[in-house]
Structure 1
Amino acid sequence: MIENTISKLATWLSRHSIDVLRVSLGLVFVAFGTLKFFPGVSPAEALSVATLEKLSLGLLSGYAAQFVIAAMEVFIGLTLVTGRLLKTGLVVMTGALAGFFAPYVLFFTDLFPGAPTLEAQYIFKDIVLAAAAMVIGARALGARLTPGPSLVFGKPATGPHPAYDR
């Protein structure tokens, strides 16, 4: 009975978990992007604007830079939530993620005057967003998650599983 339940759960998760990840990541991008449309609302506003100013060699600054970032994040989020233009959204997200981590290079001493600042910690969480994007990108390019042998109480139900038996 337990093995049957676990098998059904594994099948359900293999069918739906990446879509749930895609939509939830999209909602995060829409939420954070929407905040940037309103000056003074996003806690990352100053850092994101300063980063885009540097990366664009001063071509974009102030509210124009903030608007571009906001529009880009909302676009990425909407492609993830709806699944439409997903590959385009993932390409844009690749550039955005590079921009997310750029402050570590551009403003390292400001972000780490000793202990990491709140902004440095804020950026650090983007590692999880990048990992989620990799899983979603793999699915968009044709990879599939399929259920393998089920685990019962942390032990493989049938034979060893290389990811869990280390």
Structure 2
Amino acid sequence: MNALLVRGNRATQWLGTNSVDILRISLGLIFLGFGVLKFFPGASPAEALVMRTIDTLTLGVISGQGAVVLTAVLECFIGLTLVTGKLLRTGLLVLGMSLVGIMSPLVLFFGDLFPGTPTLEAQYVLKDIVLAAAGLVVAAKALAAAPLRLRA
């Protein structure tokens, strides 16, 4: 019985030490993968939704393929910062700002996304809720490890 407790404690310690880093890297790979797809016209299932969302949010200032490329650059930057841990706080800040755009179709186009049952685009946006929650966990650890220094 004691051997099981010792193994359980080791597993708990290992999880406590490594799980958030594994989550950070996994989240980074997802952002990097989705971002890279957007560099290839027609490869991303979210391409039309990205164009429509960015066009609406920027009142037409950024539209079409430019909106998709901007999103691709941001997602790749977020992904690289999460995977490498370099510029992590900056990447988390960009992620936080990007979440407004990522989640806005739920408000802007709710009727189109949920005409009865969720469309494929709706499912794509809904999975972003989990990504946002994962980002919060990663941010909590990153900010706790390197607290903000306020200048007087």
5 Å matches for 1:7-156? 7-142=9-144
Structure number with greater CO (CA < 8 Å, separation at least 6) is: 1
CA separation in 1, counterparts of 2:107 and 2:134? 23
Q: Percent identity?
A: 57
Q: How far does residue 100 in structure 1 lie from its aligned partner after superposition?
A: 1.1
TM-score normalized with structure 1 length? 0.84
Aligned residues: 143
Deviations 1:33-81 (A, max 9, x none): 0000111000000001110111111111111111000000000000000
Question: 129-138 or 105-114: which moved more?
Answer: 105-114
Task: Classify the secondary structure of the residue corresponding to 1:76.
Answer: helix
Q: How far does residue 4 in structure 1 lie from its aligned partner after superposition?
A: 0.1
Runs of 4+ in 1 over 2 A off after TM superposition: none
Q: How far does residue 102 in structure 1 lie from its aligned partner after superposition?
A: 0.4
Task: Classify the secondary structure of the residue corresponding to 2:116.
Answer: coil
**Which consecutive residues of structure 2, in runs of 5 or more, have no partner in the other structure?**
146-152
Q: How far does residue 104 in structure 1 lie from its aligned partner after superposition?
A: 1.0
TM-score normalized with structure 2 length? 0.92
Task: Classify the secondary structure of the residue corresponding to 2:106.
Answer: helix
CA separation in 2, counterparts of 1:96 and 1:39? 21
Tell me which amino acid in the other structure corresponds to 2:23.
L
Q: How far does residue 118 in structure 1 lie from its aligned partner after superposition?
A: 1.1
Tell me which amino acid in the other structure corresponds to 2:5.
E
CA separation in 1, counterparts of 2:54 and 2:68? 8
Q: Which has the larger helix fraction?
A: 2
Tell me which amino acid in the other structure corresponds to 1:38.
F
